[in-house]
Amino acid sequence: MFQLTQAQIDQFNEDGFLIVEKLISDEAVETLRACYDRLFRGEFETGVTPDEVNWQEGTGDPSLTRQICNGWKADRDIADIVLREDFAKAIAELGNWPGTRIMIDNVIWKPPGTRSLGHHQDSAYLDWFNPSDLLSCWIGMDDTSAEGGTIEFVRGSHKWNHSPPEGEFHGPEEYRKYMERAAAREGVKPEIVYVEVPKGGGSFHHGWTWHGSGHNKATYPRRSLVLHAMRSDTEYVPDHLADGTGPIYSRYKRLADNIIDENFFPVLWRNDGYRTPGIETYLKR
Ligand SMILES: O=C(O)CCC(=O)C(=O)O
């Protein structure tokens, strides 16, 4: 069971992120590594294709970081981690939320030599739901280092003004460009903090914290799994014309109302004890 201390919550509020040495066990890391091999080969255990498949063996650009979104619907080894109640409770505590739903997961694999992921603020892409608060838990499946292109955060940048979505996510040459422009607008010198943790460790970050990651210049891979979470009481923004992830995830909008359907965005933890029925049955093999 993962649990936060008050000192960690205070640190998160100050910095916009929190680094944690251990989130999942070594056995869970091994299980996930095997699962990553399957997913990027196109083997989907449940028979359901993930919502976004940006890289597959044989067809994917070998210079790019591999990415799949909503692996939890395709493979229950991913679901076991990203649907965890304790992570969801921790996220609610960090965000001061009544409860937590999964928005999406990110399955990320950056082999040696592959390219960066551009700096961005997650919440800039999320005007399809309201309140649009987002909080994420990032878990490394390898020991991480600055040289190996680990995720990096800009300390305190969740307090900066909100920037519009800009630039490339996959493989930009100047991966910090848009963050540096935002820092100049703020009149500050950005302080970069690298998440350097043993495998199974990771971080939490606020939806408005600037983050990204550089090329993998190391000789070992950098695999990570991210749980992106939203508030339990969030709803669809009707008829929005947003760019980014809206066109993909608005396909789950119900015709009659703005309720976000728990079958696609389950409530993982709520302060009244509620958790979407069916999660435990789904996780049973
Ligand atoms: O893993 C990375 O380098 C970036 C992932 C990311 O953008 C995120 O977790 O929001």
Ligand 1 atom closest to the Cα of residue 224 is 1
Instruction: Please state, for a pLDDT cut of 90, what percent of the chain lies above it.
Output: 89
Ligand 1 atom closest to the Cα of residue 213 is 3
Dist. CA 171 → ligand 1 center (Å): 12
Alpha-carbon distance of 194 to 235, in angstroms, equals 34
What's the predicted TM-score (pTM) here?
0.96
For ligand 1, atom 10, name the residue with the nearest CA. 122
Residue type, 136: S
Q: Per-residue pLDDT averaged across 222-232, rounded? A: 98
Cis peptide before 190 (omega within 30 of 0): no
Dist. CA 212 → ligand 1 center (Å): 6
Q: Per-residue pLDDT averaged across 113-133, rounded? A: 93
All structural domains of the chain: 6-283 (2.60.120.620)
Q: Which residue has the tokens 């119900």?
A: 254
Q: What are phi and psi of 251, to 5 degrees?
A: -65, -15
Q: Which residues pair with 137 in a beta bridge?
A: 204, 227
Ligand 1 atom closest to the Cα of residue 169 is 7
What residues does ligand 1 touch, defined as CB less than 6 Å away?
A: 106, 108, 117, 122, 136, 138, 151, 211, 213, 224, 226
Which of the 8 DSSP states describes residue 201?
-
Tally DSSP H helices, then E strands, for the chain: 7, 14
Helix, strand, coil tally for the chain in percent (to 5): 25, 25, 50
Dist. CA 137 → ligand 1 center (Å): 10
For ligand 1, atom 2, name the residue with the nearest CA. 151
Indicate if the pLDDT at residue 39 is higher than 60.
Answer: yes
Indicate if the pLDDT at residue 211 is higher than 90.
Answer: yes
Indicate if the pLDDT at residue 240 is higher than 80.
Answer: no
Burial of residue 149 (CB within 10 Å: 0-12, 13-18, 19+) is buried
Residue 151 structure tokens = 């995720």
For ligand 1, atom 6, name the residue with the nearest CA. 212
